[in-house]
Amino acid sequence: MALTGRAGLLAAIGILVVMFAPLPGPALAGVCLLLAAAIIVDLVFAGAVRPLRFHRSGETLMRLGQRATVELVVENPGPRRVRGVLRDAWQPSAGASPRIAPLDVPAGERRKVVVTLDPTRRGDRTSVAVTVRSVGPLGLAARQGSHQAPWSVRVLPPFLSRKHLPSRLARLRELDGQHPALVRGQGTEFDSLREYVVGDDVRSIDWRATARRHDVVVRTWRPERDRRVLIVLDTGRTSAGRVGDAPIPLAGAEGRGGGLPAQSSLGSSLGSSLGPLLGPDSRPAPGWPRLDWSMDAALLLAALAAKAGDQVDFLAYDRAVRAWVSGESRTELLSSLVNAMAPIEAELIEADSQGMVAAILSRAKRRCLVVLLTDLNSAALDEGLMPVLPQLSARHLVLVAGVSDPRVAAMAGRRDSTEEVYDAAAAEHAQLGRRRITARLRRHGVEVVDAAPDDIAPALADAYLALKAAGRL
Amino acid sequence: MSVDTRSPGSPPVAGASRPTSPTPRSTWRAGRLIVLLGLVVVLAAVASVLLGSGRGPARPLDPDDTSLMGSRALAELLRERGVTVDRVDSTQAAVDKAATGDRLLLITDQAYVDVGRLAELPGDRLIVGDVIGLPALAPGVSTLPQAARPRSREPGCPLPAARVAGSAHMGGVAFRGPPGSTGCYPAGDGHTLVSYANGRGVTTVVGDGGFMTNQRLAEDGNAALALNLLSTGKPVTWVVPPENPPPGELAGEQGQSMYDLMPGNVRWVIYMAIIAVALTAFWRGRRLGPVVVEKLPVVVRAAETVEGRGRLYRARHARERAAAALRAGTIDRLTARLGLGHGAGPQEVVAALAARTVEDPHQLGAALYGPPPADDARLVELAGYLDLIERQLSEL
């Protein structure tokens, strides 16, 4: 049961009655009895909550940054009207609204309540309970009860880098020799012979074939197809660090954890125009975790590689396999990937590089391009990946992609005061470590992509295209 | 190894709804044990109060109190020896008793009495502790400012009562008696027992009543001393504080308490207000459904480690390390820009740099490879200079 404000108000009026009554004791008893009787009558005549039935329908998949609606149909089989409020209790980061909806279901009828979800982060968002408070005819007391009407919505990664896809597909077509400008395909696999058209590169004329015919014939080449790309996502602790500005604010990005100042949103809006403010007091809102930027880059790479005719597999690993997608058809690949990525969060444990390499080697039997999305943290890589890297690079072509932190770059550039110079020295130290580990990786024959959060997806796509053009896959 | 084998195709979805709130029956079933236990506890408490000895709080130095602080044992001993002990709890009763004959008046520091009336009574007196109005009750006796710690003390005096009893638990207040008085159990400059005779009778002042309590009576010569002091052959009038403060003795013309002045309704209004507040609290406190918990990802900026390192540099004034980091970063970028290999030595770098900028080679060498800066200002200067070199080179 629950009471309403009216019950409290009546009791407050009762105070006045008792104050001016000639017989205060009996007056108090009378007021209390009246109030109790009214509350009991209200409870008895309120519509029953327990027999209510709930039916749900609506979306189960959505992209982060979009809105989705879930419909909740309330069926009242009882003999009395259920009038009051309803709360559909979603997890906070589902961004459900309205939080509390008015409800009025006559006996034997059903009514629909529409809940709009505006989630603030990836993952599965569920509704924990539906609670109904059914107010009695006097409006003094209410019956209250909860029901389980489970529904879950999977919030997929937003794939913001798909805006880069058309330009990279155009580059891919150039490689393919299918470009309208008749640029010679730059691949290494012989495709076909065709007649010379003005504008073709004379170096690609096949003189032997030309000699057999009356026309000048050119060879066309195409990049290799049906190669394998294995995208490995490091979900260890280094992926939890937040970098850049969140394009879509994630849950907990503001005013949470570590006592961020209230003007953090102001700081980030200023930061976009003036460069991030640095100082002990102005701490800008943290951006996205490295993991999310890496996912964005992985999705662009997967889309591009699928178009290029390569087989894409996906592995997420920290100390155990978090997700594994393999053997998907080209049309299904992206939806499978976003589905697998949606519930993954960075674990606050050191990634087990040895186990990761073992997992890769056991899954990738044939030579493939292993794209490892991790942080280029010299300390973590020195202890983890570097000792086991030769095993991997002996059998596969390895590409390590790391998201750099623009804040560190900004710190390195500011040298006006003593504090800033010390910070700049720390930033230089970090950047130097990063450059050294990059150089060491390259000496091992590993390709390295190190780019800012906004550039990592196109940079990784370009690195893939360069490898494809060079025929190294 | 735990493998998340959830198929990526389908997120978990939906089923039929079912009520989760407890029914009255299930609530009773879940809570009956607690209710029964609560009932048992309440019954046990009520029974223990009803069947208990009914002893109130301890009343120190009360001849009817059997607690450690009381003096029932002493009173019983006195009665065994044929001494009448009359317990009185008001000044009027003491005055009435005094009218019956020659008596010994025992006043302790626990009793707040009308000193003026008692002081006029004739007969012997035993005054225990720092009684208010001591100058009137025992004229000529003055208390010393420093207190004496209650402990076992030797009598050290010719007073027969004390000499026979020997050492006793004395202390509390130290007194200085009038000329002609006997002081026993010395403490500091004074004595904790002073006895003297005047026109009305023998007046004895004791600094502390500890030796008369049930707790200490059996120790030392405490019982002997107490009995010697009180067994003078006269009945004892033992003044104790009254059980309840007497009514009708309040200030004001009618002597009314605050409750008498309030209108009769106020009490009931307060009860009603409590009920109203309780109802309002229940209205506001009842939550609409459960609290929903969610595991949120950690929020930590990746740059925090770098900022922490910077703060450590600053806190320890690690100019050497800071300068080395700044120089290493600059040299790393310069060698790439100047087209030198990674193994380029200082001379090569400085020479190549001097050829492309207008800076002095010595200054360049000192900035890139010199000793660490002596203070923070020099460090800032160095950082600015390194910046300048890089900017000059990039403007080429």
Q: What is the pLDDT of residue A273?
A: 38
Pair of tokens at residue A174? 């150039």
Cβ–Cβ < 8 Å for A461, A302: no
pLDDT number for residue B146: 82
DSSP state string for A196-264: --TTS-GGGB-HHHHHHSSS-EEEEEE---S-EEEEEEE-SGGGTSEES--SSPPTTSSS-SS---TTH
> Do A421 and A329 fall within a single domain?
yes
Decide: A72 and A56 in contact? Cβ < 8 Å.
Answer: yes
Is residue A156 within 8 Å of residue A339, measured between CB atoms?
A: yes
For A79, what's the count of Cα atoms within 13 Å in the CB-facing half-sphere? Answer: 2
Q: Which residues of B touch A21 (CB under 8 A)?
A: 265
Q: What is the mean pLDDT of residues B39-45?
A: 95
| Burial of residue B297, with CB atoms counted within 10 A of its CB: 0-12 exposed, 13-18 middle, 19 or more buried | buried
Mean pLDDT of chain B: 83
Q: Which of chain B's residues have a Cβ under 8 Å away from the Cβ of A15?
A: 269, 272-273, 276
- Please state, in angstroms and rounded to a whole number, the distance separating the CA atoms of residues A203 and A214: 19
pLDDT of residue A284: 56
Statement to judge: residues A212 and A232 lie in one domain: no
A-B C-beta contacts closer than 8 Å: 273
Cα–Cα distance measured from residue A235 to residue A344, given in angstroms and rounded to the nearest whole number: 8
The count of other CB atoms within 10 Å of the CB of residue B288 is: 18
Mean pLDDT within B23-39: 91
Q: Does A393 reside within a domain?
A: yes
For residues B170 and A34, which has the higher predicted lDDT (pLDDT)?
Answer: A34
Q: Is A182 inside a domain boundary?
A: no
On whether both A143 and A200 belong to a single domain, the answer is no
The CA-atom distances, in angstroms, between B158 and each of B161, B165, B166, B183, B221 are 9, 12, 11, 9, 16
What is the least distance, in Å, from the CA of B151 to any CA of chain A?
58
* A121 shares its domain with A199: no
Separation between Cα atoms, residue A388 and residue B234, nearest integer Å: 106
* Mean pLDDT, residues B18-24 taken together: 84
- The pLDDT score that the predictor gives to residue B55 is 61
The answer, yes or no, to whether residue A319 has pLDDT greater than 80, is yes
Chain A residue with the nearest C-alpha to that of B16: A149
Rounded to whole angstroms, how far apart are CA atoms B70 and B217?
Answer: 10
* Cα atoms in the 13 Å half-sphere on the side-chain side of A129: 16
Give the tens place of pLDDT for each residue, B213-266. Answer: 888 888 888 889 888 888 888 888 888 877 765 554 555 556 667 777 778 788
Spatial contact of A370 and A364, defined as CB atoms under 8 Å apart: yes
Q: What value of ipTM does the predicted structure carry?
A: 0.75
* Chain A interface, best mutation among B3, B6, B18, B292, by max A CB count within 10 A: B292
| Predicted local confidence at residue A290, as pLDDT | 93
- Judged by phi (left if over 0) then psi (alpha if -120 to 50, else beta), residue B306 lies in alpha
So what's the pLDDT on residue B359?
83
Partner-chain residue, chosen from A3, A53, A337, that has the shortest CB–CB distance to B17: A53
Amino acid residing at B78 = L
pLDDT digits (tens, 9 = 90+) for A411-427: 998 988 999 999 999 99
| Chain A residue numbers touching B299 (CB-CB < 8 A) | 242, 252-253, 256-258, 286
Are residues A342 and A303 part of one domain?
Answer: yes
Nearest to B289 among A52, A56, A129 (CB): A129
pLDDT at residue A208, as a whole number: 87
For residue A135, the model assigns a pLDDT of 95
Nearest chain B CA: its distance from A123 CA (Å)? 10
| CATH architecture type of domain B72-239 | 3-Layer(aba) Sandwich (3.40)
pLDDT at A206 over 80: yes
Beta carbons within 8 Å of A342's beta carbon, 6+ residues apart: A122, A123, A124, A154, A155, A156, A157, B11
**Confidence grade of residue A281 (pLDDT, cut at 50, 70, 90):** very low
Asked whether residue A313 falls in the same domain as residue A381, the answer is yes
Same domain, A144 and A207: no
**Which range marks the domain in which residue A198 is found?**
192-216
User: Mean pLDDT for chain A?
Assistant: 86
- CATH code assigned at A425: 3.40.50.410
Residue B70 or B54, more confident: B70
Q: Which of B262, B294, B387 to mutate to test the interface with A (most CBs of A within 10 A)?
A: B294
Do residue A207 and residue A144 come from a single domain? no
Residue B9 predicted with pLDDT over 50: no
**A304, A299, A296: which is closest to A451 by C-alpha?**
A296
Check if the beta carbon of residue B131 is closer than 8 Å to that of residue B141. no
Parts of chain B belonging to CATH 3.40.50: 72-239
Q: Is the pLDDT of residue A143 over 90?
A: yes
Q: Does residue A159 come out as left (phi exceeding 0), alpha (psi in the -120 to 50 range) or beta? A: left
Q: Which residues of chain A make contact with B9, given a CB cutoff of 8 A?
A: 336, 339
Torsional sign, CA A437, A439, A443, A447: positive
Identify which of A241, A339, A421 has the shortest CB distance to residue B300.
A241
Residues A400 and A446: beta-carbon distance below 8 Å: yes
pTM value is: 0.70
- Chain A contact set for B280 (CB, 8 A): 5, 8, 11-12
Give me the mean pLDDT over the A158-183 stretch: 78
The percentage of residues in chain A with a pLDDT greater than 70, rounded to a whole number, is 88
Q: Hunting for tokens 């057999």 — which residue is that?
A: A212
Q: Is the peptide bond between B145 and the residue preceding it cis, with omega within 30 degrees of 0? A: no
For residue A240, the distance in angstroms to the closest alpha carbon of chain B comes to: 7
**A325 and A449 co-located in one domain:** yes
Per-residue pLDDT at A320 exceeds 70: yes
For residues B112-138, give the mean pLDDT.
80
**Closest alpha carbon to A288 in A251, A255, A244:** A244
Q: What is the pLDDT of residues A113-131, one digit of tens each?
A: 999 999 988 999 999 999 9
For residue B107, the cross-strand partners are B127, B239
Q: Is residue A270, in this structure, part of any structural domain at all?
A: no
Same domain, A383 and A409: yes
Rounded to the nearest 10°, the torsion over CA A372, A373, A376, A382 is: -40
- B346/chain A closest Cα distance in angstroms: 18
Provide the shortest C-alpha distance from residue B370 to chain A (in Å): 17
Please indicate, yes or no, whether residues A318 and A444 belong to a single structural domain of this protein.
yes
**Per the structure, how many domains does chain A have?**
3
Confidence of residue A278 (pLDDT cuts 50, 70, 90): very low
DSSP 8-state secondary structure symbol assigned to residue A402: E
Q: Residue range A137-155: average pLDDT?
A: 93
In whole angstroms, give the CA distance from residue A142 to residue A133.
6
Judge: B4–A322 Cβ closer than 8 Å, yes or no.
Answer: yes
Checking DSSP bridges between strand A61-63 and strand A152-156, what pairing results, if any? Answer: parallel
**Distance, CA of A450 to CA of A452 (rounded, Å):** 7
Of A156, A182, A206, the residue at which a domain comes to its end is A156
* Encoded tokens for B292: 């929903």
Q: Hey, is the C-beta of A11 within 8 angstroms of any chain B C-beta? A: yes
Interface contact flag, B299 A4, Cβ < 8 Å = no
Answer for the pair B169, B222: CB distance below 8 angstroms, yes or no: yes
Q: What angle do CA A106, A108, A111 make, to 5 degrees?
A: 60
Q: Is there a single domain that holds both residue A200 and residue A76?
A: no
Instruction: State the pLDDT at residue B238.
Output: 87
Among B6, B266, B300, pick the best mutation site for testing chain A contact (most A Cβ within 10 A): B300
Position with higher pLDDT, B339 vs A47: A47
